[in-house]
Structure 1
């Protein structure tokens, strides 16, 4: 996590979100699409598309699950767990076919919850449908960890609060700089570890050259066409 910016406002509404996002846009000065992940706060949902017109806005899986729980108060606990499990499977599905299977599972458990899920803008939280790039992130846990990190500062008067957060962030950057100097990997250790795991998994695939930059990867249960020039795969995991 790299804290980029923060602000203190009197209320979380459309005007304050617009002000915050407009200043953020001026500060980063980027024209390329950006992916935002947040809860379903109306002021934020409307403003992201108004300020960052070419960007994408995803809804946090955790917040969706909490809203789903509230809608299932009348359902038995074992059925709730099954629906939530199917919902998480739908959220993280890389293929539309897989998403449809998980949604069908929810429908088998409850037609009412199936309708709730199907009408909750899947294009904002389903990996196989979402058009932006989330790089494996489907929740706002990173932001929540930051909020917990500054809990003590949030109890202080505004100026003292801002100063304490500034000091904490400065200390964090220095600590990470010192830690990074001892890295022996090209990428960060955690990413390098994930990459090694993916490479090991790919060894079992049979690769067939289709044409030019296209290859077909054949596994035990399915196959995908990969374009190495555009870095795209039918599985949508890449």
Structure 2
């Protein structure tokens, strides 16, 4: 992956990371701590969780900060140190779901496999295209539910307006201070940057000033963007021979024969 996509950031699946961690700590408490650490949005929270782990399990702490293992570098698995927004994606579930989706096709000949995947994608696109066409709001329903949940989170915030673009908020429950800046669309809690979704502090400022918070939503979550994803179409294949593999002259000599027939027949060698 690094050779093909050297400029692309690489992240570690937290579920697989937790499986590897069981060699030094199997307790549920540490599994939950690792989840919180991986999903922390700013270095301050991450360092606090590291301190807790250091007190509770020094062996696990040494394992987590190991510098010799490339997969344990913080930017690979802790959201707070990620070089780009991760949009709250900490697992490789997308790839695993796709593999499970095509499970019944995976033992087919290559042309049957590819044509089967093509048919499944066409069916899925048609279903999602019709669903997107019936959405009447400016943003996807799931996005609106997420924002409603965030804005309804309990908070004990005091607000101080520095100027029209900068606000200081103090959480009375934890005595922590957060700064919201609208000129660069940021909050020091880190959640807005790493998820591209306004955090509770931004929601509080918007309610305080009667701002329309939808103007701060990332356009990637808009209904228009969702519809554009499914606008492209996959061209039909008129005749089957167009997807057959080209004929290749083989080398002289014996070779192992492997007959793989389409359909549900088993592979024979």
Q: Taking structure 2 as the reference length, what is the TM-score of the superposition?
A: 0.63
Change (3 A) 1:203 1:99: closer
- Number of aligned residues: 185
Q: Which is greater in Rg? A: 2
Correspondences of 1:173-188 after superposition (within 5 Å): 173-188=125-140
Distance 2:163 2:154 in 1: 20
Query: What does 1:123-202 correspond to in 2, within 5 Å?
Result: 123-201=75-153
1:210 to 140, 162, 186: 162
CA distance in 2, matches of 1:48, 1:117: 28
Superposed displacement of residue 182, structure 1: 1.9
Unaligned runs of 5+ in 1: 1-43
Of residues 101, 106, 122 in structure 1, which corresponds to 2:74? 122
SS at match of 2:169: strand
Q: Which ranges of structure 2 fall in alignment gaps of 5 or more residues?
A: 67-71, 193-269
Deviation at 1:205, TM superposition (A): 3.5
Q: Extract structure 1 runs of 4+ deviating beyond 4 A.
A: none
Q: Secondary structure at the match of 1:107?
A: helix
Q: Which residue is 2:179 aligned to?
A: 225
TM-score, length-scaled by structure 1? 0.71
Q: Deviations over 1:3-28 (max 9, x none)?
A: xxxxxxxxxxxxxxxxxxxxxxxxxx
Greater RCO, CA 8 A, separation 6+: 2
Does the C-alpha gap of structure 1 residues 206 and 109 become closer, same or farther in structure 2, counting only changes over 3 Å?
A: closer
Is 2:7 the counterpart of 1:47? Answer: no
Q: In the alignment, does 2:19 pair up with 1:59? A: no
Counterpart-to-counterpart distance in 2, 1:143 and 1:191: 22
Partners of 1:185 and 1:111 lie apart in 2 by 51
